[in-house]
Structure formats: structure tokens, C-alpha cells
Chains A and B, each alone.
Chain A
Amino acid sequence: MNESDQKPIIILEDVCKFFGDFQALRNINFQVKKGERVVVCGPSGSGKSTMIRCINRLEEHDSGRIFVDGRELTNAVKDIDAVRREIGMVFQSFNLFPHLTVINNLMLALKLVRKAKKSEAREIAMRFLERVHIPEQADKWPSQLSGGQQQRVAIARALCMNPEVMLFDEPTSALDPEMISEVLDVMTDLANEGMTMIVITHEMGFARSIADSIVFMDYGEIVESNPPEEFFQNPRFDRTKLFLEQIL
């Protein structure tokens, strides 16, 4: 890797977030370099989701600073839209637009945000549907697809905006077991192509095979952050050990 690749694309400095009296994030310091694949894990309610939602400002942090590709997240609407264009996000519940066909789900933001012409948008959309192996579903409604197919459409929808970073918020947690691998396969392909990814998941086999580092969170804090071998073989904290015992 050359020098510029080493520069972090995402920086969180002392980020805190409250929901009422509840502190969801406690002084989070976290960096992701370009091309890095980070898996975030931890018990439910530990702040993983809140943390990545702060990165594209679906949640607003209360203190600390967040930078995405050199741009600080503030209240300026223009900056937020610009940052969101750089970041793709995949949700646990897919969140496909139910009133649009699969291809139109992909084309909507291409037309409105990227200002692509209809034919151009369609071409890009088809290319990404092929990448997630479901071009034949292009003209169906989301409700006609299986969960795994819907999630792959959601991934394609995020990818066709050509993001610098992809955020995955428990992408396989809502899926039937037999559909998990088809989604993980797509994500593995993506990782192998060098996409910068932050993935919240409980799929530890997947984490082990693709992650450059694994971040463990508990009670709104980052407890530890290590490469996979280190993380699984020599967890440093009791909280991490306990968590690993429970899920492995």
C-alpha cells in the first residue's frame, strides 16, 4: 500500500452519544483506513449500531468529532448529503422501497442524487444486480423476493452509488439460516475487491475470514480491537472472553 492508502477515511474522536439519560456511546475513538475491513461485535445494546449510524449521521453524536474522508460531520445539510453519498449502508431489515420494483429501487438515487439519465441509470443498476447474482429479478416487487434476495438487492442499491465505504448493520440477522450464506458470499466478494467495510455481525466465521480487525464493544465502549487471530485466541479482557464463550 502507498502512503495515501494509509490515511484513515473514517475518524471518530472521543464520540459520545446520549439517548435521554442513557449513554449509548462513551468516548469512542476509532479509525478505519481505506480498504480496511472492520467487524464490530458485542452484545445487544452495546452501542455498535449507534456507532455506525453516527458515521452517516442517521444519529447525531453529542460530543467529540467525526470525520469522513476529511470532512467533519456537523449540522450543515450540504455536508451531510455529501458524506452520505460517500457511504453505502445496508440495514438488518433490508428497507427496500416496497412500492418500487427491484430495478427502480436501484435507479431512484442514481437518477435523483447522481443525476443519471434513465437509460444510464438502468445500465448501472443492471450491472450491480448481476454482481449480486439476481439480474432476473429486476422487474419484480421486493415483496416477491426471499429475504436473502432482498438483502442482496439492498447491497446492490447501496453499491450502485459507488460509495467509498460500506456500512453493514447486522445484514444477516433477519434472515432464515439457509439464506445467510448467499448474502455473506456477496459481502466476501466485496471484501476481496478491496471495498472499505464496517460490518456489525454475529457471524464469527465470516468475521474471521474477511476482517482486518475485530472491534468488541460493550456498554457503549470499545473494549478491544485486534486482528482476528489475536481476537479469537487471546482475548485480553474478561468481558470479551465471556462474549466469545456465549456466541462460539
Chain B
Amino acid sequence: MTFDIYLIFNSIPKMLAGIGVTLQLLFLSSFLGLVLGIIILLMRISGRWYLSFPTFVYIYFFRGTPILVQIFVIYHGLPQFEAIRDSVFWPILREPFGCAILALTLNSGAYVSEILRGGYLGVDKGLHEAGKALGLSTPHRFIYVTTPIAVRLAIPAYSNDFISMLKATSLASTITLLDMTGAARTIVAKTFAPYEIFIAAAIIYLVMTWFIQRGFGLFERRMSRYIKQWGVI
């Protein structure tokens, strides 16, 4: 077997044809997952069992099953129900892209809500009390006191999840989507050189991960500017 290093570099531009789909999957499902995660968090910490119990079931289910299985269930399973085919969601669920977004969003929402909960639990109880003593209402304390601190505490875990999401988008290639991994598989089918092509794909994912890490690192620095050890702006 020969190893063709030029093939790696030559295939990278072709593979970038799939980067648009990868980025769409990543950003759209991460954004929707964040929104969902915040809603789930609020339900979970509401202190009302009929709101918190469903979130417990939801988180357990989506953390406890592989994303690939979730994608297959949504893509192959849901269309079997007439109610789904007749619903307003059908134009979205008919498309593999819509199914991938739905699966990734539901998965991300479960993890993000837990990550944010960790942030909220990390906020010093004394700050809640200081807010109460000043007469701040519960929503005001939540928005102006707890959230900015909780977000900072959650950044490292969230960036980890975001990078996991980047890699999870590659699973969309199993339901015919031409994301970067999908593009790589198409090129492999033509060149019969899986080794070089998948190494090329790996390089692109690594570069993207580097930018994500860097972005979150800067964000964390900005959010931590009030902490002594991070230095003063």
C-alpha cells in the first residue's frame, strides 16, 4: 500500500464543499440547544415537580442513548406515524437536514441544561442573600446577579460540549447529508484511498476545533476580567 501525501492536500479543498453543512448543523443545533437547555434548566430549578420531573426524564433519555440511535429513530422512525406526516413539522422532518438538526438540538439541550445547572449551583449563596436583602426581585436576581457568574463558571464545560457537537455533526453523514464527513466518504468512494482522505478530514476538524477553543478561551478571559488571577484589563 502506498501513502500519497499530495492526495491529502488535494482533497482538502474538495472536502471543504461540506464545511457549510457542518457549520450549519453545528451553529443551528447549538443555538437551538442552548435555548432549549435554558428552558429545561428553568423548569428543573422551578421547584415545581410537574415542571422538573419531565426534564429529568428528558435529560435521562437523551444523555442515556447514543446520538446515532437518536438520529436513526428520528429519521427512520418518525415518518411511520401518520400524525407526523400530517403535522406542520413534516416539511422539516421530511428532510435529513431537519432530522439531524432535531436530533442534535435535543441532545445538546440535555447536556447544556446540565452544564448550566452546574454553573448556577456554583454561584455563592451569599450573593443571592445580598440581592434579596437589597430588595431585588427573583427575576432581577436571576438576570443581573446569578446569570453572569453562572455563565462564566459554565464556559469550560460548555466549550467542551460545543466541540463534542462539532464531531457529532459528522453522524449526519449516515442519513445522506453531505457534511464534511459525508463529502469525505464520497471522495473515498471515488479514489479508494480512505486513509489519506480521512486524515484530510481529521485535519480540517482539528483546525476548526482550534478556532473554537481559542474563541471560548477569549470569551472566558473577557467574562473573568473581574477575578484577580486573570489580571486586570
Count how many pairs of residues, one from A and one from B, have CB atoms less than 8 Å apart in the complex: 70
Interface residues of B in 130-151 (CB under 8 A from A): 130-137, 140, 144-145, 148-149
For residue A44, give the distance in angstroms from its CB to the closest CB of chain B: 18
- Of the candidate stretches B2-10, B91-99, B201-209, B225-233, the one touching chain A is B225-233
Residues of B in contact (CB 8 Å), total: 23
State in angstroms the CA–CA spacing of A157 and B140 once bound together: 17
Contact with B along A104-136 (1 / 0, CB 8 A): 000011001100000000000000000000000
Which residue of A has the minimal Cβ distance to B228?
A: A143
B152 contacts chain A at the CB level, 8 A cutoff: yes
Contact B127 A97 (CB under 8 A): yes
A93-B126, A143-B228, A144-B232 in contact; A81/B135 too (CB < 8 A)?
Answer: yes
Chain A residues with Cβ below 8 Å from B133 are: 56, 58, 84, 87-89, 91, 158
Contact check, A99 vs B137: say whether CB atoms are below 8 A apart.
no
CB distance from B144 to the nearest CB of A (A): 6
* B132 engages A95 (CB within 8 Å): no
Q: Is A198 an interface residue (CB 8 A)?
A: no
Which residues of chain B are near A11, meaning CB under 8 Å?
A: none
When the two chains form the complex, which single residue of A81, A84, A97 contacts B145, counting CB atoms closer than 8 Å?
A: A97
Q: A81-B137, A112-B144, A161-B135 are in contact. Are A95 and B130 (CB under 8 A)?
A: yes
Bits for B214-229, please: 1 = Cβ < 8 Å to A, else 0: 0000000000011110
B134-A113 in contact (CB<8A): yes
CA of A14 to CA of B149, assembled, Å: 40
| Interfacial residues, chain A to chain B (CB-CB below 8 A) | 56, 58, 81, 84-85, 87-89, 91, 93, 95-101, 108-109, 112-113, 141-144, 154, 157-158, 161
Chain B residues within CB distance 8 Å of chain A:
124, 126-127, 129-137, 140, 144-145, 148-149, 152, 225-228, 232
Q: List 7 A-B contacts (CB under 8 A).
A: A56-B133, A98-B149, A99-B149, A99-B152, A109-B134, A112-B140, A113-B135
